[in-house]
């Protein structure tokens, strides 16, 4: 959610915030921060305003002021729709969360749904759905067809489109209602439902009435795991979802290749997580999933730079 879209409810405060935004767009972050402070003197309970102040303060080199503003935003909005906890971690003012706030992720993709495909495919050279489907097709351990597939974090259905002809029943799950609506409009899923992959099995949305464990012989998560830090819970959910010998196809941003230090989990300035191959293999194995294929790839661009990723296929024993 863009903080620029949110009103403080006070005309004078909004006017000062608008001037602050214009100054920031011109690169004058110190003056922008000063104007935002004036706006917040008028509306001290404006969470979006505190988050915007944190951005201007950080960019003007005032880290302590940025941290204080983020803490204020988080106190006013404990659901953390803006991801203040992630920003605090990047500023070394808090521990890295095991996962981002669910409301932050859901709102992010609700806001992004209308321009998602145009932004990713046309401008960022996003290629995970095609590459992951190709990896499934060329891996000898993977069957040519699947009785039931569960597409986790299905988004607008980009991966679903590429496996539809290999699947008898295709289910799609996503945290974002707007993304589910976009996927539904394509008519490729037999079922779509909300799910929060950061929650345990009873609450995540994958195992409702009539949704038994072990029902899928394919599960997928294309460009989803970068919105989860600790993958232990996710791999546990997938292991419960898959039938014996079922396949899990997924991608991660590559912490080891991009950063050259082999860290297990890295929170990036993009507020996405990157994972190393060693970490993924260990976490998957602990859940009873054996990696049968891995492929290094550039998965998209970010600010004009390539983002290195890893594509995995893992099988349940």
Q: What is the pTM of this model?
A: 0.91
Residue that terminates a domain, selected from 46, 61, 95: 95
Q: Are residues 60 and 178 in the same domain?
A: no
d(CA 9, CA 5): 12
Is residue 262 assigned to a domain?
Answer: yes
> Of 10, 6, 198, 209, whose CA–CA distance to 103 is shortest?
198
Summarize pLDDT for 168-177 with one digit per residue, the tens: 999 999 999 9
Confidence of residue 260 (pLDDT cuts 50, 70, 90): very low
Band the pLDDT of 303: cuts 50, 70, 90.
Answer: confident
Residue 29 lies in a domain: yes
The reported pLDDT for the residue numbered 5 is 54
pLDDT, averaged across the chain: 92
Indicate the pLDDT class of residue 258, thresholds 50, 70 and 90.
Answer: very low
Residue 157 in tokens: 């259905």
Q: Considering its fold, how many domains does the chain have in total? A: 2
292 and 245 within one domain: yes
In this structure, are 177 and 251 located in the same domain? yes
145 and 26 inside one domain: no
Given 70, 95, 120, which residue is the final one in a domain? 95
Nearest-CA neighbor of 316 among 214, 223, 187?
214
Residues 6+ apart with CB under 8 A from 111: 1, 2, 178
Report the interhelical angle of 11-25 vs 47-59 (nearest 10°): 30
The C-alpha angle 32, 38, 41, rounded to 5 degrees, equals: 140
Say whether both 138 and 90 belong to one domain: no
- 279, two tokens: 């970490």
Tokens of 122: 């046309």
The DSSP secondary structure of 165-182, one letter per residue, reads GGEEEEEEEES-HHHHHH
Q: What is the pLDDT of residues 98-145, one digit of tens each?
A: 999 999 999 999 988 888 777 776 677 788 999 999 999 999 989 999
**92 strand-pairing partners:** none
Phi first, then psi: give them for residue 67, nearest 5 degrees.
-60, -45
Q: What is the CATH number of the domain that holds 70?
A: 1.25.40.10
CATH number of the domain that 157 lies in?
3.40.50.150
> pLDDT tens digits for 155-201?
999 999 999 999 999 999 999 999 999 999 999 999 999 999 999 99
Tokens standing for 117? 């495909």
Pairing of strands 216-221, 242-254: parallel
């Amino acid at each position: 959610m863009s903080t620029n879209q949110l009103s403080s409810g006070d005309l004078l405060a909004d006017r000062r915030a608008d001037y602050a935004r214009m100054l920031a767009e011109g690169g004058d972050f110190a003056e922008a921060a000063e104007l935002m402070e004036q706006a917040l003197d008028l509306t001290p309970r404006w969470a979006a305003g505190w988050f915007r102040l944190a951005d201007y303060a950080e960019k003007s080199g005032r880290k302590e002021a940025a941290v204080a503003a983020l803490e204020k935003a988080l106190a006013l909005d404990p659901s953390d729709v803006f991801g203040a906890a992630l920003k605090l971690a990047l500023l070394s003012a808090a521990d890295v969360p095991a996962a981002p706030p669910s409301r932050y992720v859901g709102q992010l993709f609700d806001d992004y749904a209308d321009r998602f495909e145009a932004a990713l495919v046309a401008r960022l050279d996003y290629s995970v759905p095609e590459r992951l489907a190709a990896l499934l097709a060329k891996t000898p351990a993977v069957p040519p067809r699947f009785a039931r597939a569960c597409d986790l974090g299905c988004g607008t259905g980009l991966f679903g489109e590429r496996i539809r002809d290999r699947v008898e029943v295709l289910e799609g799950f996503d945290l974002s209602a707007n993304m589910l609506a976009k996927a539904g409009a394509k008519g490729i899923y037999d079922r779509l439902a909300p799910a929060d992959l950061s929650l345990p099995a009873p609450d995540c949305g994958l195992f409702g009435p009539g949704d038994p464990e072990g029902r899928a012989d394919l599960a997928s998560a294309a460009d989803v795991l970068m919105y989860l830090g600790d993958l232990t819970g996710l791999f546990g959910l997938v292991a419960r979802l898959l039938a014996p010998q079922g396949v899990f196809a997924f991608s991660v941003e590559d912490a080891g290749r991009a950063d050259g230090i082999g860290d297990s989990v890295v929170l990036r300035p993009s507020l996405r997580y990157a994972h190393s191959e060693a970490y993924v293999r260990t976490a998957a194995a602990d859940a009873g999933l054996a990696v049968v294929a891995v492929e290094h790839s550039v998965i998209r661009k970010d600010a004009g730079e390539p983002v290195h990723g890893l594509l995995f296929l893992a099988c349940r024993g």
